[in-house]
Amino acid sequence: MVTDKNLSVSLCGLTMKNPVVPASGTFGFGLELADAMDLDVLGGISLKGTTREARFGNPTPRIAECTAGMINSVGLQNPGIGVLVADKAPALRRIYGGVIIANISGYSVEEYAYNCAQADACPAIDLLEVNVSCPNVHGGGMAFGTDAQSAAAVTKAVKAVTHKPVFIKLSPNVTDIVSIARACEDAGADGITLVNTFLGMRIDIRKRKPVIANKMGGFSGPAVFPVALRMVWQVAHACAIPVMGCGGVRRAEDVVEMMMAGATAVQVGAENLRNPQACPEIVAALPALMDELGIDSLQDIIGIV
């Protein structure tokens, strides 16, 4: 793609050729799409969420379609941190030159720290994205990200064992997203990713039971975009650290909107499952949209609203 528009952004010292990033859980480990597109078109790739041990995930059915989105309860199916750092990330680095983001999950502060230390030591990984939407097994099952003190504890533990930039991916299922983001910033986070999925449910009225085997799951897709955008705006204006926006993004206009609200990079999630070419199509559409809006550099519009 040849254009006189500057699509590049700087994220914690990492230069991205554009701000578009497939969100974790919607793009595998990147390797699965290598034969279907030129991965180097993408500014970054957030890899499948990874835990310490391999996980098969939740029972099926795991997916429920909605009018303007979807509900998933995959349950962090993944091969474990050892496979990520020894196999998946190095294999992706051999064929992809952009920013590789490891998405790390855990069920205790100790597991988060262990996983992040392993990912930090992997030369193929550029940035760590810590998913604090997992249930705290030592704290009654409440997700780490729904409590400012718990989110800060994870952040502090992870930062103590890492050198690469650490972004904390927050849950939107809270009443005050700003207080949690600020707690993570105070604990040393280099950035914030938001939002993760909303909690949703569907019922099969003929079978008279929930569509998802786990009853509830993560709701994502175009329907959540206005709420995600609001949270991005709130956090970007309340914190001094950069934000990666995520939630309902499906077109170039959404990327620009997220950036105007304060996002430095923008992740595309559910739309990848509907259209695996979504991210390359968004990148390709950005220069014409920038021309229409009189934008020469995307870096210039970050947080202008």
**Which tokens in the block code for residue 130?**
């810590």
H or E element in which residue 156 lies? helix 148-159
122 in catalytic set: no
β-pairing verdict for 191-194 and 243-246: parallel
Helix (H, G, I), strand (E, B) or coil at 56: coil
Helix or strand or coil: residue 66? strand
Which among 134, 184, 239, 279 is annotated as catalytic? 134
Do 92 and 29 form a contact (C-beta atoms < 8 A)?
Answer: yes
Burial of 44-69, coded b for 16+ CB within 10 Å and e otherwise, reads: bbbbbbbbbeebeebeeebebebeeb
Residue among 96, 77, 75 at smallest CA distance from 22: 96
Supply the residues annotated as catalytic.
134
